[in-house]
Structure 1
Amino acid sequence: MGKSNRIFCFGEVLWDEVNGEDFPGGAPLNVAYHMAKDTNFDVYMISSVGTDAPGKRMRSLIGGWSIDTRFIQSIDDYPTGRVVANVSDKTNVSYDILRPVAWDHIREDGDLGTYIPENACLIFGSLACRNSVSRHTLHNLLSTKCLRVFDINLRGNFYDRQTLSTLLSSTDLLKINEEELAEVTRIFQPASAQAPEPVQLRALMGRFGIKETILTRGADGASYYTFDGRVDVAGITVPVADTIGCGDAFLAAFLRYRLAGTTVQAALSHAVLIGAFIAKQKGGCPAYALEDLDVFTKEI
């Protein structure tokens, strides 16, 4: 994985409503938030918010996190995104993702494609493709020759075979969890449904030409796969506030370390650490400093 300090996160920006309280969220925004904790990276958010009060509040908040907001559009026709999160099961949060909303309509910006250099990193998921406007914009961005990181992030029925095929075919690094792997295997290679996870993963990687894959297992840790190698890291057990954004924090931590040139083992270990740390907090973007991780490390 080559070095890059310019990070572009494409997709949903929204408010997570949890037990009547609002938290900033959306998987790509969560990743951007955690990436921006490291001042060695220039982080850009590509999305849309409404011109309503929640949108203005969101834009101000994101700018205060040292995330570049120039590619966050403000549109009159749709409200800022909102999700109602059910945290009755803290380790398996469910979501009511409202529609239509502003991030369904991320329109092409003529300057954006040329602004993403070959040594940049573009992070995206599947949810932003539920509407044709954002889907078309993302598909065009994926033609750039940067590092393309796909956090598959399957939600509800907001995906289909064709969309997933297009996104997977444009992926350099894939992040996927056990449930998502089972679903993608069902869609693309049902004959492998009973095969061991490594067989399923490498078949998926071979089918779409994916060079690297991270398989996450929540509290049980994670594994990193290439065609000819594998790295495993055990999980960390903590008291869970909720699991919102844990996978996003994990991905950001992994990328921060790998793009800085560290080993896969070190990057994966740090990613598992910060995923556990975020599980102890409420929401996907809790306030913290990187130094707080040192304290957490000593506690576990």
Structure 2
Amino acid sequence: MFKNNSLKAVSFGEILFDVFGEEKKVGGAPLNLALRTRSFGFSVTMISAVGNDKNGQELKKYIAENRVNIDTIITQQEHETGIVQVNLNERGSATYNIQFPSAWDFIEINADIKKAVWQADIFFFGSLACRNTVSKDTLFELLKSNPDMYKVFDVNLRAPHYTIELLKELMDISDFIKFNDDEILEIASALGLQSDSLEENILFIAENTHTKAICVTRGKHGSILLWEGAFYYHEGFVVKVVDTVGAGDSYLAALIAKLISDKQPQKALDFASAIGAVVASRPGANPEIESSEIEKLMES
């Protein structure tokens, strides 16, 4: 499926349980990225923290069973494992109530974490992990510690846990930025651009952050990718949406895996769109996906 899956990826940030009514499912955008990337056969390490509690034990067990390295998941004594209450509307779109503080707000550097980042080819991170100073400071230190790794910023805005100043700092240090359409319009507007054109917004962000690769997802309308000075498009696949939780994470994991491994942007965009669509058609953030399903959808 990939020309080079010997690449090593690291994902930094929140790991938690998404709670849907009486049911809980493993979640957190960075963890979803890690799990999906590992499912493609890449070596993946998760950097995070859990509490010294049952939920933390369950999370680490689940992650290890899915062959993601957990040596860099800290057990925090003073704070509980993260919980998010998820509410779905009639279209399957989600809103979130994110517990604060949680163990993943207190990720501190240790020798295992330093080693994993130094060996990494790809580093995934988002904005939510910066809502507390401890994890924020750790993230910035790690981002600067290995100049050779490819830094992928999944913007993933969760109000009120961000500022435009923070987002600008994170974008400036990134090699690749992924937005949804609402996010890029909000951020570009705050930075001074007043335009409804996604292409204009993408070029504006690229120029102002010196980031050469940017992707914007548009829900059922597909996505746009800026890669090496050219735009690539996908109109999206039509599926019956069960819930959108984790669909964007799997999309990004697939896109980066294909881009970095195969260097074929249009094929990467097509593949990622199929992966995201299949995840949206299933309950939860991390459903199992057979390669035959993706091939069938792409052929259609």
TM-score interval, normalised by the smaller of the two chains: over 0.9
Partner of 2:163: 160
Decide which of 9, 12, 19 is 1:10's aligned counterpart.
12
Partner of 1:83: 84
Contact 1:37 1:290 in 2 (8 A): no
Identity of aligned residues (%): 31
- Superposition pairs for residues 63-212 of structure 1, below 5 Å? 63-117=64-118, 120-143=121-144, 144-145=146-147, 146-189=149-192, 192-212=193-213
Partner of 1:269: 270
Q: SS where residue 193 of structure 1 aligns?
A: coil
Cα distance between partner residues in 1 of 2:228 and 2:292: 35
Question: How far off its partner does 1:297 sit?
Answer: 4.7
Q: SS where residue 62 of structure 2 aligns?
A: helix
Q: SS where residue 256 of structure 2 aligns?
A: helix
Question: How far off its partner does 1:183 sit?
Answer: 1.2
Q: SS where residue 179 of structure 1 aligns?
A: helix
Cα distance between partner residues in 2 of 1:111 and 1:48: 13
Partner of 2:49: 48
Say yes or no: does 1:293 pair with 2:267.
no
- Residues 62-85 of structure 1, C-alpha deviations (whole Å, 9 max, x = no match): 000010001100111001000000
Contact 1:118 1:147 in 2 (8 A): no
Contact 2:271 2:294 in 1 (8 A): no
Cα distance between partner residues in 2 of 1:195 and 1:238: 27
Structure 1, gaps ≥5 residues long: none
Q: SS where residue 278 of structure 2 aligns?
A: helix
Say yes or no: does 1:284 pair with 2:285.
yes
Partner of 2:25: 23
Question: How far off its partner does 1:166 sit?
Answer: 1.3
Contact 2:239 2:281 in 1 (8 A): yes
Q: Which amino acid aligns with 1:116?
A: V
Partner of 2:243: 242
Contact 1:202 1:227 in 2 (8 A): no
Q: Which amino acid aligns with 2:67?
A: S
- Residues 200-257 of structure 1, C-alpha deviations (whole Å, 9 max, x = no match): 2111111111010011111111111146310111111111110000000100111221
Cα distance between partner residues in 1 of 2:164 and 2:233: 29
Structure 1 residues 171 and 79 mapped into 2: Cα distance closer, same or farther (>3 Å)?
A: same
TM-score normalised per structure 2: 0.93
- Residues 123-150 of structure 1, C-alpha deviations (whole Å, 9 max, x = no match): 0000000000000000001112110000
Contact 1:177 1:216 in 2 (8 A): yes
Q: Which amino acid aligns with 1:151?
A: D
Matched residue count: 295
Q: Which amino acid aligns with 1:23?
A: K
Q: Which amino acid aligns with 1:193?
A: Q
Question: How far off its partner does 1:295 sit?
Answer: 4.9
Q: Which amino acid aligns with 2:262?
A: G
Question: How far off its partner does 1:29 sit?
Answer: 0.4
Q: Which amino acid aligns with 1:180?
A: E
Structure 1 residues 265 and 226 mapped into 2: Cα distance closer, same or farther (>3 Å)?
A: closer
Q: Which amino acid aligns with 2:179?
A: I
Contact 2:188 2:204 in 1 (8 A): no
Question: How far off its partner does 1:88 sit?
Answer: 2.2
Q: Which amino acid aligns with 1:185?
A: A
Q: SS where residue 67 of structure 1 aligns?
A: coil
Cα distance between partner residues in 1 of 2:248 and 2:107: 24
Question: How far off its partner does 1:296 sit?
Answer: 4.7
**CA RMSD for the aligned pairs?**
1.8
